Amino acid sequence: MKYKEKVDDFLSQKIIAVAGVSRNPQTETGNAIYKKFKDAGYKVFPINPFAEVIEGEKCYPNLSLLPEQPDAVFINTNPKAAMNIVGQCIDNEIKRIWFHQGMGGGSYNKEAAELAEANGITVIHSGCPMMFIKDTDGFHKFMGKLFGFIGKLKK
């Protein structure tokens, strides 16, 4: 699949887990993305092994403990933790993941992405859902166009 097809497929899912939400929501991208998914009408589950509540909602330490199987997982962790999340996706037969990668280094982990793909998982290697999700802000729309133009959104 091409990048845009992967994005459209990911965003057409109904239940999303966001790995890497923080107990300090003012400074973390994962929390903003979690809220954006929720505001857009998705059923969203926050994942953080060190928190019980995030954004006023029950938080789960891992994918296996979710009350429902997510259709997709958005990874906004440190790249070192991404391998663990991919392993959980494999164990729970989750077939779509998206690594956050915006202005900085993001969450992308090449080995984790390769492992996911080797196990039949569709992987989005870069970008941010906030560039594409409905009713997004002008800044993220612009960044999506810019990243596309400079070739940063290829996989």
Please choose, from the candidates 34, 18, 45, 41, the residue with its C-alpha nearest in 3D space to the C-alpha of residue 99: 18
**Residue 13: CATH number of its domain:** 3.40.50.720
Domain-embedded: residue 155: no
Instruction: Please count the structural domains in the chain.
Output: 1
Mean pLDDT throughout 115-140? 83
Residue 121's pLDDT is what?
Answer: 98
Domain-embedded: residue 59: yes
Distance CA 96, CA 85 (A): 12
Domain-embedded: residue 7: yes
DSSP symbols for the chain: --HHHHHHHHHT-SEEEEET--S-GGG-HHHHHHHHHHHTT-EEEEE-TT-SEETTEE-BSSGGG-SS--SEEEE-S-HHHHHHHHHHHHHTT--EEEE-BSSS-TT--HHHHHHHHHTT-EEE-SB-GGGTSTT--HHHHHHHHHHHHTT----
Query: Which band of pLDDT confidence, cut at 50, 70 and 90, is reported for residue 29?
Result: confident
Q: What are the backbone dihedrals phi and psi of residue 124, each rounded to the nearest 5 degrees, phi first?
A: -100, 120
The residue range of the domain holding 142 is: 3-149
How large a percentage of the chain has pLDDT more than 70?
82
Instruction: State the pTM of this model.
Output: 0.89
Domain-embedded: residue 51: yes
* Sign of the four-CA dihedral 25, 28, 31, 37: positive
Q: What is the pLDDT of residues 80-119, one digit of tens each?
A: 999 999 999 999 999 999 998 766 678 999 999 999 999 9
End-to-end CA distance of the chain: 9
Domain-embedded: residue 12: yes
Residue 150 predicted with pLDDT over 60 = no
Domain-embedded: residue 61: yes
Domain-embedded: residue 29: yes
Please choose, from the candidates 55, 52, 46, the residue with its C-alpha nearest in 3D space to the C-alpha of residue 24: 55
Domain-embedded: residue 154: no
Lowest mean pLDDT among 48-52, 89-93, 120-124, 150-154: 150-154
